[in-house]
Structure 1
Amino acid sequence: MQVLPLPSGATTKESPSLGKLIVLTGPSGVGKGTLMQKLLQRHPELYYSVSVTTRSPRTGEVNGKNYYFISCSKFEQLVAQGEFLEWAEFAGNYYGTPRAAVLDHIQSGQLVVLEIELEGARQIRASFPSALSIFILPPSSSELEKRIRGRGQDSDEAIACRLHRAQEEIQAAHEFDIQIVNDDFDAALNEIETVLFG
């Protein structure tokens, strides 16, 4: 991964003639990743910002497509250099959004979509107040637990941690511009498309 420095004089301030930043967030297991994948398939004109993470790849994940997988020391070096638009720690791992690529695509007039955790989404709202923020909600706590267990990727302890964190995150849904319940996948996807494209 090549991380470019922010161009001289560049800031995160926006101009009305530029593109738009769209932030998709919600608790772990709510289906935001699957919604994002389908959205990108149907709308290749969207620019998806691939996040950087220190966690290990899951089965089938590809470096540079799903995430950029790097070491903790490299991540901390990039933080110190100011290379992230936002970054956060979640479930013992770091996640961050590379700054330069996002700003370049917004300046070229594109819709840029981020799929990030709550803490990072709050950072984006602070630095990009005109970003459109969408919070994906589960239909119920029991359904969320079923989805997380259905992944078969976490220990019981990790699942309990994710569910506890999810309840806290759901309390923050009102902070976001739009809340969408992912009960019916196609309906949720259509709601996102309506928000983005009218």
Structure 2
Amino acid sequence: MEKSHGLLIVLSGPSGAGKGTLCQELLRQMPNLKYSVSMTTRLPRPGEVDGVHYFFRSREDVEAMIARDELLEWAQFCDNYYGTPRFAVEQAIVDGQDVILEIEIQGALQVKKRFPQGVFTFIVPPSLAALSERIHKRGTESEEVIQKRLATAIQELEYVSEYDYVVVNDEIPAAVDKLKSIIIAEKCRVKRKPFVFKEES
């Protein structure tokens, strides 16, 4: 059987939907997955480490990378840039490694245009009330920013139809199980992995 390329798994959804938590648990349970660290111009939140959670860069640095086409995708969200360094992701996929991206919706739609064979999954909260509660519990943003995020979330929910799958993040273990099932099913698709019987010796 010929070697197949890895999967590009894209998770996105409204801020506060729990993408990061689901991604961390998925990586813990599926150690063969490679996490693609995104780049951002926003300031680190408490506990975030450069190169682990994000690559924290200046606005000038990110704009220069955009001009050189060195990002697989990029977007502006709440007045900050977010983007995915391109080379490492493309090389990992060619080498047969499965890569997971946790990115904003604008960025996910860019990736879909460049890499339509990716697996695009939209993470949603069980309700807007639950989303508001999660964002407030983080305690990292002002009320003005929180309200902006909630208004943006309502608009972002309209993009669900652009994705292959939608997962409601109500209970984390159940949501992770759904994501694992999606990945396993996608790896078994005939169009991804041509099957040839070995000749009997």
TM-score, normalised by the number of residues in structure 2: 0.89
In structure 1, stretches of 5+ residues that fail to align are 1-15
What is the Cα-based RMSD across aligned positions, in Å?
1.0
Aligned to 2:65: 78
Does 2:143 match 1:150? no
Secondary structure of the 1:172 match is helix
For 1:98, the aligned partner's letter is P
Aligned to 2:89: 102
How far off is 1:24 after superposition?
A: 0.3
Pick from 96, 103, 118: which aligns with 1:131? Answer: 118
Aligned to 2:190: none
Identity of aligned residues (%): 49
Q: State how far apart, in whole Å, the 2-side matches of 1:51 and 1:93 are.
A: 13
Pick from 41, 54, 57: which aligns with 1:54? Answer: 41
Q: State how far apart, in whole Å, the 2-side matches of 1:69 and 1:17 are.
A: 33
Aligned to 2:52: 65
Q: State how far apart, in whole Å, the 2-side matches of 1:141 and 1:51 are.
A: 26
How far off is 1:17 after superposition?
A: 2.5
Q: State how far apart, in whole Å, the 2-side matches of 1:99 and 1:75 are.
A: 13
How far off is 1:171 after superposition?
A: 1.2
Aligned to 1:121: 108
Q: State how far apart, in whole Å, the 2-side matches of 1:83 and 1:127 are.
A: 13
Q: State how far apart, in whole Å, the 2-side matches of 1:141 and 1:17 are.
A: 40
Does 2:77 match 1:111? no
Runs of 4+ in 1 over 2 A off after TM superposition: none
- C-alpha offsets along residues 19-71 of structure 1, whole Å, 9 cap, x if unaligned? 11110000000000000011111112101100011111111111100000010
For 2:93, the aligned partner's letter is I
Aligned to 1:161: 148
Q: State how far apart, in whole Å, the 2-side matches of 1:128 and 1:61 are.
A: 29
Q: State how far apart, in whole Å, the 2-side matches of 1:40 and 1:18 are.
A: 19
Does 2:52 match 1:44? no
For 2:181, the aligned partner's letter is T
Q: State how far apart, in whole Å, the 1-side matches of 2:6 and 2:161 are.
A: 25
For 1:65, the aligned partner's letter is V
Find the structure with the greater CA-based Rg: 2
In structure 2, stretches of 5+ residues that fail to align are 186-201
Pairs aligned (count): 183
For 2:18, the aligned partner's letter is G
Q: State how far apart, in whole Å, the 2-side matches of 1:155 and 1:80 are.
A: 32
